[in-house]
Structure 1
Amino acid sequence: MSRPDLPPLNTLLPFEATVRHASMTRAAQELHVTHGAVSRQVQNLEKALGTPLFERAPRSLRPTPQARRLAAAVREALDLIEAAAVEVSGRERSGPLALSCEPTLLMRWLIPRLPDLAARVPGLTVHLSAGGGPVAFGRDPVDAAVRRDDFPVPEGVSRVPLFAEWIGPVCRPELAERLREGSAGPVTLLHTSTRPAAWDDWRRLSGHAPTGATQAAPEQTFEHFYLALQAAVAGVGVAIGPYALVHDDLVRGQLAAPYGFVADGTGYGLLSPRPPERDARVAALLGWLREQAADLTPPARERSGVS
């Protein structure tokens, strides 16, 4: 069958990789060819289409809007071909699943649940790494990532919501009781450099400040959320705790939430370079994550403003 409008197929892989990386050098590294080979194929594609696909500058390469549309179509076609090839061959995608996760969520929530994952999905091996922000799936050795939705999802990346974010002050139970009674006196507010506006966000959303935790209260800042929450467990002061990150401490009685939790409008999701149903490993992980995430909505008695 003649397809006169179809561009040269051997140009499409180098082109798609170049758009995704915005770099011919990184595209060449991914495809294990030379920079010159990628450049020639991109030029051949531009010649076949009769239009430039990149805005070239001495130190940058920017895909045109037309190039982005074509690259998205190529990426989708490649996913379909790959899925069909797996189906025809009778093989499932194999090997360990490389999963990246927000560092504090990884340490305080995901790792403690790995034995359950091994028991419930025995055929799945997961290699974990800590990371945050956008994931360059074509460049980074990652198959999926759990991320908070505080950044735009990159073009072509699948995102499946997992759970909403609820935040509230947390501290040792004995301190929480004194705060409720109004007898705590000034308490230390614990901050984290990764979310410097956490206290302001909670005050804005809840409409009040905790007794004893005023603008004049002592303050201490930690580099990471994990450290601030550990300080709260140790009785150093009061931290803003996302419910997912303090759920286990609340259950164990190591922390209490004297003012409950309030939804902050963000949430966590599973990112992957293609829809999860196209990779049996990602689909199995997603099913398990959804079951685990069912516990990450605070009960009514623990929500801000609910007695």
Structure 2
Amino acid sequence: MRWPDLPPLNSLLPFEATVRHASMTRAAQELHVTHGAVSRQIKNLEKALGVTLFERGTRSLRPTPQARRLAAAVRDALDQVDTAAREVSGRERGGPLALSCEPTLLMRWLIPRLPDLAVQVPGLTVHLSAGGGPVAFDRDPVDAALRRDDFPVPPEVSRSPLFPERIGPVCGPELARRYAGELDVVGVTILHTSTRPRAWADWQRITQRRVEPAGEQSFEHFYLALQAAVAGVGMAIGPYALVHDDLLSGRLVAPFGLVEDGTGYHLLSRRPPEQDQRIAALLSWLRGQAEGL
């Protein structure tokens, strides 16, 4: 035999799914088999390798470091087989594309543009979910994620740039008139968000402008702080993509302009766009939408 150390091949799919979900029950549901069938295959694999692959608790199942290493190799091998099979058959990767997007960007920028996606890319079905921060493509059930690059991205993750981040104070038009021609933010309530607590400090560092607020108020999410700014409560730091439509409509004004903060938004994916036509189509559309941001 050419591969004398290969474990039982029929155990690898249940094993990989169990590691990914940290649950035999969820692995069984994904594979449409019984919990007992998955459990037997895991035991067969552990017996063949001579190692324990999971730390079993009363109500928990934790993959060992050896299990995670083997599962990653199995996943990579299955990806290669899948890609080769599609190339041989001439079929494109099909099915809906699961896309994760930062919540406020999803609400204020992406969702309003979905009708155009349906027109421009009619064959693409996108399933959306809200999420932020790093993406574990080996565990999270997503194909791609729209993220700002404010965290390290593993080298194995494909990273396609979309547009730079531009930030600046935004407020309602009535409040903005008070600051026409002013250089500093003085005597106004400034609005913070717990998802980006250093937004004001970052803007002040970049612009070297003075910020002396009359008061401060914090919100859990960016979209709440921006809605408070629309309502005239005070000024919030507005990332351009999140306030673009409100600036065009006049609901918000950026009296001090907007500046790049050195970060940007990217489309992250487990597979490079050239290996998945769905991701390539989405990326092309996103870049078209991002022109001018």
TM range (shorter): 0.7 to 0.9
Q: Which moved more, 1:284-293 or 1:109-118?
A: 109-118
Q: 1:282 to 1:31 in 2, by over 3 A?
A: same
The answer as to whether partners of 2:186 and 2:210 remain within 8 angstroms in 1 is no
What's the TM-score once normalised by structure 2's chain length? 0.83
Distance in 1 of aligned mates of 2:224 and 2:151: 24
> How far 1:105 sits from its partner (Å)?
0.9
> Partner letter of residue 189 of structure 1?
I
Q: Which residue of 1 aligns with 2:106?
A: 106
> How far 1:65 sits from its partner (Å)?
3.1
Q: Which residue of 2 aligns with 1:285?
A: 282
Residues 197-231 of structure 1 show CA distances to partners (whole Å, capped at 9, x for unaligned) of 43233334443334xxx24x123333432232233
Residues 221-255 of structure 1 show CA distances to partners (whole Å, capped at 9, x for unaligned) of 33432232233233332111111111233334443
The answer as to whether partners of 1:191 and 1:239 remain within 8 angstroms in 2 is yes
Q: Which residue of 1 aligns with 2:230?
A: 233
> How far 1:48 sits from its partner (Å)?
2.1
Matched, 1:161 2:158: no
Distance in 1 of aligned mates of 2:52 and 2:260: 47
The answer as to whether partners of 1:134 and 1:154 remain within 8 angstroms in 2 is no
Q: Which residue of 2 aligns with 1:299?
A: none
Q: 1:46 to 1:132 in 2, by over 3 A?
A: same
> How far 1:95 sits from its partner (Å)?
3.7
Q: Which moved more, 1:176-185 or 1:89-98?
A: 176-185
Q: Which moved more, 1:153-162 or 1:79-88?
A: 153-162
Q: Which moved more, 1:181-190 or 1:89-98?
A: 181-190
Q: Which moved more, 1:97-106 or 1:144-153?
A: 144-153
Alignment of 1:199-214 (within 5 A): 199-210=200-211, 214=212
What's the TM-score once normalised by structure 1's chain length? 0.79
Alignment of 1:91-130 (within 5 A): 91-130=91-130
> How far 1:63 sits from its partner (Å)?
2.9
Distance in 2 of aligned mates of 1:150 and 1:24: 34
> How far 1:175 sits from its partner (Å)?
3.3
2:238 is paired with a residue of what secondary structure?
A: strand
Which runs of 5 or more structure 1 residues have no equivalent in the other structure? 297-307
Q: Which moved more, 1:285-294 or 1:166-175?
A: 166-175
What is the alpha-carbon root mean square deviation over aligned residues?
3.1
Q: Which residue of 1 aligns with 2:292?
A: 295
The answer as to whether partners of 1:243 and 1:261 remain within 8 angstroms in 2 is yes
Distance in 2 of aligned mates of 1:152 and 1:59: 32
Q: Which moved more, 1:46-55 or 1:73-82?
A: 46-55
Q: Which moved more, 1:265-274 or 1:240-249?
A: 265-274
1:163 is paired with a residue of what secondary structure?
A: strand
Distance in 1 of aligned mates of 2:223 and 2:76: 39
The answer as to whether partners of 1:30 and 1:139 remain within 8 angstroms in 2 is no
Q: Which residue of 1 aligns with 2:245?
A: 248
Alignment of 1:176-187 (within 5 A): 176-182=176-182, 186-187=187-188
Q: 1:55 to 1:140 in 2, by over 3 A?
A: closer
Q: 1:18 to 1:200 in 2, by over 3 A?
A: same
Q: 1:112 to 1:20 in 2, by over 3 A?
A: same
The answer as to whether partners of 1:178 and 1:184 remain within 8 angstroms in 2 is no
The answer as to whether partners of 2:20 and 2:139 remain within 8 angstroms in 1 is no
Aligned pair count reads 292
> How far 1:153 sits from its partner (Å)?
5.2
> How far 1:284 sits from its partner (Å)?
0.6
Distance in 2 of aligned mates of 1:155 and 1:47: 33
Q: 1:144 to 1:23 in 2, by over 3 A?
A: same
Q: Which residue of 2 aligns with 1:77?
A: 77
The answer as to whether partners of 2:105 and 2:242 remain within 8 angstroms in 1 is yes
1:122 is paired with a residue of what secondary structure?
A: coil
> Partner letter of residue 69 of structure 2?
R
1:145 is paired with a residue of what secondary structure?
A: strand
Distance in 2 of aligned mates of 1:18 and 1:155: 24
- Percent of paired sites with the same residue: 77
The answer as to whether partners of 1:79 and 1:274 remain within 8 angstroms in 2 is no
